[in-house]
Chains A and B, each alone.
Chain A
C-alpha cells in the first residue's frame, strides 16, 4: 500500500443562495492521492472540481468532511499543511509590474524562506523554467508561455511535496505546452513530487496520469488508472469502414453479427444528401467489437464477399474521452 499524500473523506461544500435556498457544490467526496503519483481530476464545468481542490488547498472552508495533506489537516493544521503544497493556478497569478525574480522572491518569503536559501531556490527555479536571462524583466513584458513558466516556478519554489496544477496548458502554443507537460513529468521523475492535475484535455490526462478521478455533480463518479476506467465502462473498439456510395445489405449485417467474435453493434450511416454540385460523401459502416484489430480481417473478408468496395478503414480504440462521455453523458469541453 503506497503512502498517502492527500486524504479526503466526506468532503462537502454547500452554498446558500440569496433567496435562502442551498446549493450542494460538493457532496461528500472520498479520495486518496498517493505520494509520487500524478493524479488528474477531470470533470465538466460546474462539476465541483474547483470547489473540491479549493477546499483541499485551504482556499475554501468545507461544510463537512476533512482533508489532510501529508497527515496535516487543512482546517486545523492549515499552516503545516500549506507548507507542503505548491499551487499553480490556471490564471497567471503574478504581479505584472514586478520582475520574474521579484515575484519569486516575494512568494518565497510568504513560504518563510529568506537569505541564501531563498536566493538559491530562486536561481534553481529560474534554471528549471529556463528564465534566467529574463529574470530582471517585468512579467508584463513576457510572452504568454514565459508567464506560464514563471507561474509554475512560483508554485515549485519552496520545493513542495504536493503540487496542484490547474489547467496549466490553457492558452499556450504547442511548443510551450509540450514544455509544460515535460516539466510535470520531470517533477515526478526527478523530484518525486506528487502532482494533482486538472485539465479538460483528455490526451494530457491520459499521457501524464498514474490515476484519474472523474467528478460530476459534486461526486467522484469514477476513480482509477486510465485502463481501469476503460475496462470499468466496458467500451468496445470502434471500426469505421468507408464504403463510398454503396449500401449494406441485411445479409452482410447478419453475417457480421453471427460470424465475427466480439461484435456487438453494427451501424450504417448513408451519405448525407448533396445539392448536386458537391462531391458526394462516403457511407460509413461502424462496427463495435471487442479486440477490434483481431476481428478486422474476418470483417473485411465478409464485406468483400458481398462485393462491397472498402475505401478506407479506421480503428478507434476506447479512450478517456469515451469513458467520460459514457459516464457523464457529455463531452468534457461542454
Chain B
C-alpha cells in the first residue's frame, strides 16, 4: 500500500507542479462558468425571461377541521375556477417585478392539477413538467390548529427535473414561500383563538358575550384568507422569485459550473492516464517495473493519482464556484447545495468516471498523441451531448453522456433534491466498467 501511495503522491506532485495544466484544469472551467453567469445572468445586460414554467400539482391532502391547506398551493398556481374551494377574499394587485413589469404566479407558471403522484413524477422525469408539487394526504391534519393538539411539521414534495435547474429552483422557491405563508397563517389563527379563549376566561362578561355570539351565529370567523399568499405582507414575493431565477448570475453558475466541471474533469482524467504513455516513453515506467513493485501496484498508484487529481479538481471547483456564486449572490450560496455528503459522493463518482474514460482511451490508443486526439474528440462530443456548451439536447440523447449524469446530479443537489441514486449508479458503474475494460486493453498493449 505504501508503494501505491508513493506513486500516487508523485503523480499528484507532478500534475500540480505543472502550472499550465493547473491553469487549464482549474481556472478555465471556473472562468468559463463565471463569464457565462455574468454575461447571461444580468451582469452582461442580457435577461432570460422565464414564463410558463410547466408544473404539475398533486393535492392528496384530505383536509382537517374543514380546512384543506393543500388547496392553498392549488389556488396559488391555478386560476380560481380550476382550483378547489377558493376562499372569497379581497383581490390583490399583481406584484411588480424588479424591472417594473407586472407578473402573477399564473403568468410565471403553467400549472396542471393531477391526481396521481407517481404519474406526476414520471411526467417530470420525461421532461413534460419542470417540477411536480405533491401535497401529502395528512398535510392539513399535521399543520392545523386544534385545542390540545400541537402543530406538527408538514412537508410538501417538490419533485424537479435536474435538467431544468433554474426553473426548478424557481418552483422550489415559490413552494417554500407558500409553505412559509401557511405556517404564518396557522400560527396567527392559533394565537387569535388562544387569545380569545384566554380573554373569555379572565373576563367572564366577555366570555358570556363571546359564547352568545358564537351560538347565535353573529361570530363566524373565516381564517381562510389568512393563507392566501397575495393578501399577506410576507406572502409570495414574485419579484424576488422571478428576479433570482431569471437574472441571477449565481443561478447560471450552477447550471454551467456543473457541466464545465464535468467537462474539464474528463480532460484531467485523460491527462493523468496519458502520463502512463509518457512514462513508458521516457523509460521511468520500465524502471518502475524492474523494481520490486508489483505491476498492479504501479497501475493502481498511477490511476489512483489521477483519480485523486480529478477529485481535487472538482472539490476546488465546488469551493471556487461557491465563492464566486456567493459574491455574485451577495450572500453565502453553496453552488451545488449544502448536502455535503451527497456532493462528496457525486464528486467521487464523477472523478471515477473521468478516470475510467481516460483509462479506456489510454488502452485504445497506441501513442500519447493518438490518445489525446481521440479523447479530445470524445470529450467534446460528450460535452455537446451533456450540455456543456450552453445548449441542451433532448434528454434521451444527453443520457448517453457521462457529463449529463454528473452535471444533472450537481444541479439536482443545487435544487435541493437528494434523489440522485440513479446518477450515482451510472457514474460509478461507468467508471468501474470503463476502468476495467481500459485496464485490460492497456495491459495487453503495453505488455506490462
Which residues of A85-104 have CB atoms within 8 Å of chain B's CB atoms?
85, 87, 89, 91-98
A91 in complex: contacting residue of B10, B282, B290, B447, CB < 8 Å: B282
Alpha-carbon distance between A82 and B2 when the two chains are bound, in angstroms: 18
Interface residues in B, total, Cβ within 8 A:
22
Question: Is A221 at the interface (CB under 8 A from chain B)?
Answer: no
Chain B 32-65 interface 0/1 with A at a Cβ cutoff of 8 Å (1 = within)? 0000000000000000000000000000000000
* Stretch from A52-60, A180-188, A301-309, A317-325 forming part of the interface with B: A52-60
Contact B287 A107 (CB under 8 A): yes
Determine the residue in chain A with the shortest Cβ distance to B3.
Answer: A110
Contact A110 B291 (CB under 8 A): yes
Contact B2 A85 (CB under 8 A): no
Question: Is B217 at the interface (CB under 8 A from chain A)?
Answer: no
Alpha-carbon distance between A112 and B6 when the two chains are bound, in angstroms: 11
B284 in complex: contacting residue of A79, A95, A109, CB < 8 Å: A95
Give the interface SS of chain B, mostly helix, strand, loop or mixed: helix
Alpha-carbon distance between A80 and B292 when the two chains are bound, in angstroms: 7
Which residues of A60-80 have CB atoms within 8 Å of chain B's CB atoms?
60, 78-80
Alpha-carbon distance between A127 and B6 when the two chains are bound, in angstroms: 25
Which size bracket describes the interface of A in this complex? 20 to 34
A106-B6, A110-B6 known; A95 vs B14 contact (CB < 8 Å) = yes
Which residues of A189-210 have CB atoms within 8 Å of chain B's CB atoms?
none
Chain B 285-298 interface 0/1 with A at a Cβ cutoff of 8 Å (1 = within)? 01111111110000
Contact B292 A111 (CB under 8 A): yes
Cβ–Cβ < 8 Å partners of B291 in chain A: 82, 107, 110-111
Question: Is B203 at the interface (CB under 8 A from chain A)?
Answer: no
Question: Is A83 at the interface (CB under 8 A from chain B)?
Answer: yes
Cβ–Cβ < 8 Å partners of A85 in chain B: 290
B287 in complex: contacting residue of A78, A80, A93, A97, CB < 8 Å: A93
Alpha-carbon distance between A92 and B288 when the two chains are bound, in angstroms: 13
B362 to chain A, nearest CB (A): 19
Alpha-carbon distance between A80 and B2 when the two chains are bound, in angstroms: 18
A83 in complex: contacting residue of B283, B292, B294, CB < 8 Å: B292
Alpha-carbon distance between A238 and B428 when the two chains are bound, in angstroms: 75
Question: Is A5 at the interface (CB under 8 A from chain B)?
Answer: no
Contact A94 B284 (CB under 8 A): yes
Contact B10 A106 (CB under 8 A): yes
A91-B282, A91-B283, A97-B18 known; A109 vs B289 contact (CB < 8 Å) = no
A56 to chain B, nearest CB (A): 10
Which residues of A7-58 have CB atoms within 8 Å of chain B's CB atoms?
57-58
Chain A 105-141 interface 0/1 with B at a Cβ cutoff of 8 Å (1 = within)? 0110111101000000000000000000000000000
A109-B2, A109-B3, A109-B6 known; A93 vs B289 contact (CB < 8 Å) = no
Q: Which of A87, A89, A110, A114 has the most CB of B within 10 A?
A: A110
Alpha-carbon distance between A96 and B18 when the two chains are bound, in angstroms: 12
B10 in complex: contacting residue of A80, A89, A95, CB < 8 Å: A95
Cβ–Cβ < 8 Å partners of B282 in chain A: 91-96
Alpha-carbon distance between A109 and B289 when the two chains are bound, in angstroms: 13
Contact A58 B10 (CB under 8 A): no
Cβ–Cβ < 8 Å partners of A59 in chain B: 286, 289-290
Question: Is B149 at the interface (CB under 8 A from chain A)?
Answer: no
Alpha-carbon distance between A92 and B287 when the two chains are bound, in angstroms: 10
Question: Is B17 at the interface (CB under 8 A from chain A)?
Answer: yes
Determine the residue in chain B with the shortest Cβ distance to A91.
Answer: B283
Cβ–Cβ < 8 Å partners of B14 in chain A: 95, 97-98
Alpha-carbon distance between A82 and B6 when the two chains are bound, in angstroms: 19
Contact A89 B447 (CB under 8 A): no
Question: Is A299 at the interface (CB under 8 A from chain B)?
Answer: no
Cβ–Cβ < 8 Å partners of B18 in chain A: 97
Question: Is A154 at the interface (CB under 8 A from chain B)?
Answer: yes
Determine the residue in chain B with the shortest Cβ distance to A56.
Answer: B290
Contact B292 A89 (CB under 8 A): no
Alpha-carbon distance between A57 and B283 when the two chains are bound, in angstroms: 14
Determine the residue in chain B with the shortest Cβ distance to A60.
Answer: B447
A112 in complex: contacting residue of B10, B17, B292, CB < 8 Å: B292
Cβ–Cβ < 8 Å partners of A154 in chain B: 287
Contact B289 A89 (CB under 8 A): no
Cβ–Cβ < 8 Å partners of B3 in chain A: 109-110, 112
Determine the residue in chain B with the shortest Cβ distance to A87.
Answer: B290
Chain A 141-157 interface 0/1 with B at a Cβ cutoff of 8 Å (1 = within)? 00000000000001000
B290 in complex: contacting residue of A57, A80, A95, A98, CB < 8 Å: A57
B293 in complex: contacting residue of A57, A89, A110, CB < 8 Å: A110
Cβ–Cβ < 8 Å partners of B286 in chain A: 59, 89, 93
Q: Can you add 12 more A-B contacts, CB < 8 Å, to A87-B287, A110-B288?
A: A59-B290, A60-B447, A82-B290, A82-B292, A89-B286, A93-B283, A94-B284, A95-B282, A110-B3, A110-B291, A111-B292, A154-B287
28 A-B interface contacts by CB (under 8 A): A59-B286, A59-B290, A79-B294, A80-B292, A82-B292, A83-B292, A85-B290, A87-B287, A91-B282, A91-B283, A92-B283, A93-B282, A93-B287, A94-B282, A95-B10, A95-B14, A95-B282, A97-B14, A98-B13, A98-B14, A107-B291, A110-B6, A110-B7, A110-B291, A110-B292, A112-B3, A114-B2, A154-B287
What is B's interface to A at a CB cutoff of 8 Å?
Answer: 2-3, 6-7, 10, 13-14, 17-18, 282-284, 286-294, 447
Complex A-B, nearest 5 residue pairs according to Cβ-Cβ distance, in ascending order: A93-B283, A82-B292, A110-B291, A91-B283, A79-B292
